[in-house]
Structure 1
Amino acid sequence: MILYLHGFRSSPSSYKAQVLAKAVAEKGWQDQWVCPQLPESPAAAIALCNQLIQEANLTDPATDLRIIGSSLGGYYAHVLAEQWGCKALLLNPAVHAPRDLATQVGEHRYYHSDVPFVFHANYIDELTAMQPSATTQPQRYYLIAASGDEVLNYQEMLHTFSGSQGFLIFGSDHGISDFDLYLSPVLHFIAPSIGS
């Protein structure tokens, strides 16, 4: 199972999700691809992910599950990877989501649909309650961080996932708008989960 988790205000229609969905399909792995629209509530988002993982009836999540998370989705991927003992690929992940999203309480619109939604103050408490106390077995993680991220601090990402696989992009931006350039290592990392 390849579970892709989008970021705040994003959706399965995001650039990175679409690029990956196409690449996964070209590899013939589309039956493994799962990319849900996540609820605004962090607790509900994690509950949905756990439900999808359980419904997949994986023989061994540690080897059969790969989670890819971007921004806030990277925070969720960290939470879930610690819970399930699986590998996770993180794309400019939010490592201090309660702090970083505290400024986002209020009404917003999604990037890809212009649909309004409210990010409630209690969602910060939900993020705080799930925050991993540590990054165990950092070799299970693959971090792609961009020094040009205008939203999150890439140095905090490097510190949180010290000892992980991955690389730093010198430049780029929060959305990693040149993501297609880095498909090869991404696909290599997720391939073992589907027997390739």
Structure 2
Amino acid sequence: MLLYIHGFNSSPLSEKGVVTARFMATHFASETLLQPQIPADIDEAIALLCGLTETAKASGEPLRFIGSSLGGFYATYLAERYGGHAVLINPAVSPQDLFEEFLGPQHNPYTGEDYLVEQHHRDALARYDSQAIANPDRFFVLLQTGDEVLDYRLALNKYHSCRLLIEPGGDHSFVGFEQHLPQIAAFLQLP
């Protein structure tokens, strides 16, 4: 199983989601790719992701994750809890510390969903935060220094013992992501 986890106010229809699906269909069509729409509610998101992971694990499938931004936070939690390998793209580090600016009304442009970000969402993020990386060999972290949303140095500090790819410039979307998909597939040990 490869579980692609999109970021905050995003969807599997984001550019990285679409490019990943196309790459998998072309090169690894026999592999299971899951790209769920992640609920805005943190506890619901974790329940969905854990359920998918537990089902795959119970059936003996290798666990593989790609997480972008907030999806990187979720992928970290899953890989630390269940095992497997995770590729993180400009991951959110301790996003509960950033949520002050997101409290209140939100709109997901992909799904059209309007919802509220409330204090309990921030508290939930804190509960699922992997403070330290216990299994650095499970992670490949892609960072671009020009990320205008998240400070890449926070991820560099948290994932310093992991495999890292740091590119100057770029932005939060990770410019040129598709060029790294063969390297990502190799790290995830896709057959």
Q: What's the TM-score bracket when you normalise by the shorter of the two chains?
A: over 0.9
Kindly indicate whether the alpha-carbon contact (under 8 Å) linking 1:21 and 1:30 is maintained by their aligned counterparts in 2.
no
* CA–CA distance in structure 2, aligned partners of residues 104 and 115 of structure 1: 15
Kindly indicate whether the alpha-carbon contact (under 8 Å) linking 2:86 and 2:138 is maintained by their aligned counterparts in 1.
yes
Aligned residue pair count:
190
TM-score, normalisation: structure 1: 0.91
* CA–CA distance in structure 1, aligned partners of residues 179 and 17 of structure 2: 14
1:58 aligns with 2:59: yes
Percent sequence identity is 33
Kindly indicate whether the alpha-carbon contact (under 8 Å) linking 1:79 and 1:132 is maintained by their aligned counterparts in 2.
yes
Deviation at 1:32, TM superposition (A): 1.1
Kindly indicate whether the alpha-carbon contact (under 8 Å) linking 2:63 and 2:83 is maintained by their aligned counterparts in 1.
no
- SS of equivalent to 1:88: strand
In structure 1, the gaps of 5 or more residues are none
* CA deviation vs aligned residue, 1:42-89 (integer Å, no higher than 9, x gap): 1111110111122233326xxx00111000010011111110022110
Q: What code does the residue aligned with 1:72 have? A: L
TM-score, normalisation: structure 2: 0.94
* CA–CA distance in structure 1, aligned partners of residues 111 and 33 of structure 2: 22
Deviation at 1:117, TM superposition (A): 2.0
Q: Could you say which residue in structure 1 is the equivalent of 2:33?
A: 33
* CA–CA distance in structure 2, aligned partners of residues 175 and 69 of structure 1: 12
Kindly indicate whether the alpha-carbon contact (under 8 Å) linking 2:7 and 2:69 is maintained by their aligned counterparts in 1.
yes
Q: What code does the residue aligned with 1:149 have? A: D
Q: What code does the residue aligned with 1:59 have? A: G
* CA–CA distance in structure 1, aligned partners of residues 187 and 116 of structure 2: 35
Deviation at 1:29, TM superposition (A): 3.2
Q: What code does the residue aligned with 2:24 have? A: V
Q: What code does the residue aligned with 2:11 have? A: S
Q: What's the RMSD between the two structures over aligned residues?
A: 1.4
Q: What code does the residue aligned with 1:75 have? A: F
